[in-house]
Amino acid sequence: MNDFTKDELITIKNGDEYLSDRTSLSKQYIEQCETIVAKLRLLIDNYCEHTKTYYSTGIKFECIECKDNKTT
């Protein structure tokens, strides 16, 4: 399930990058920012709009593309 839209993830990533580039932060905090940016990039790269869906067990919604990506 996507809690954020792809555009929201990009905005968060850009804000994190801007913060770490423009402010005087500790090395540890900058490393945390870099880790978060890397995770956000992965989420953005693997973002799914859930266009191909099916119901696996009654009312449980699953995306065919996400399901296929989990098995590979």
Instruction: Give pLDDT tens digits along the chain (72 positions).
Output: 457 889 999 999 998 888 777 677 788 888 888 899 999 999 898 888 776 666 666 666 667 677 666 654
pTM: 0.64
Contacts with 21 (C-beta within 8 Å, 6 or more apart), sequence order: none
**Alpha carbon distance 23, 25 (integer Å):** 6
Q: Considering only CA atoms, which of 4, 71, 1, 17 is closest in space to residue 44?
A: 4
DSSP state of 24: -
Domain ranges of the chain: 6-71
